[in-house]
């Protein structure tokens, strides 16, 4: 157990639908990062939050959004889902903005049918 908790572990949904992925960071970590892992794109950085504020954006689609709540858990919202959104979505946490140590959760496998 890495200390980073992601739910659900698996999600199957239809095209056009909306889903929410949840991440609880390791205790004491203020930064949360979201990554997407797909066969064709590899591991792609989506977005970072630090202590409730968005700090950096990567290759995140406009159909996707995220937020970090006061208790530091984060949610990644994916809407108008397409087949190509099927991927593993990872959350990672670190203490600082520039993470000297990143701890990853076990991921949420999203399948869009």
Partner 1 sequence: AQSVTQPDIHITVSEGASLELRCNYSYGATPYLFWYVQSPGQGLQLLLKYFSGDTLVQGIKGFEAEFKRSQSSFNLRKPSVHWSDAAEYFCAVGATDKLIFGTGTRLQVFP
Binding site for partner 1 (CB under 8 A): 2, 33, 35, 42-43, 45, 48, 55-56, 58, 90, 92, 97-107, 109
Minimum CB distance to partner 1, residue 104 (Å) = 4
Q: How far apart are CA 93 and CA 68, in angstroms?
A: 12
Residues near 61 by beta carbon (within 8 Å), at least 6 away in sequence: none
Minimum CB distance to partner 1, residue 17 (Å) = 24
Please say which residue, 2 or 17, places its beta carbon nearer to partner 1.
2
What's the sign of the alpha-carbon dihedral 96, 42, 110, 80? positive
Give the three-class secondary structure for 28.
coil
Please say which residue, 79 or 109, places its beta carbon nearer to partner 1.
109
């Amino acid at each position: 157990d890495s200390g980073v908790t992601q739910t659900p572990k698996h999600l199957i949904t239809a095209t056009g639908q909306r889903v929410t992925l949840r991440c609880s960071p390791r205790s004491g970590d203020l930064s949360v990062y979201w990554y997407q892992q797909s066969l064709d794109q590899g591991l792609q950085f989506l977005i970072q939050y630090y202590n409730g504020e968005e700090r950096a954006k990567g290759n995140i689609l406009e159909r996707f959004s995220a937020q970090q709540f006061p208790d530091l858990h984060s949610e990644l919202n994916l809407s108008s889902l397409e087949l190509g959104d099927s991927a593993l979505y990872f959350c990672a946490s670190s203490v600082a903005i520039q993470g000297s140590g990143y701890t990853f959760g076990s991921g949420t496998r999203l399948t869009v049918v």
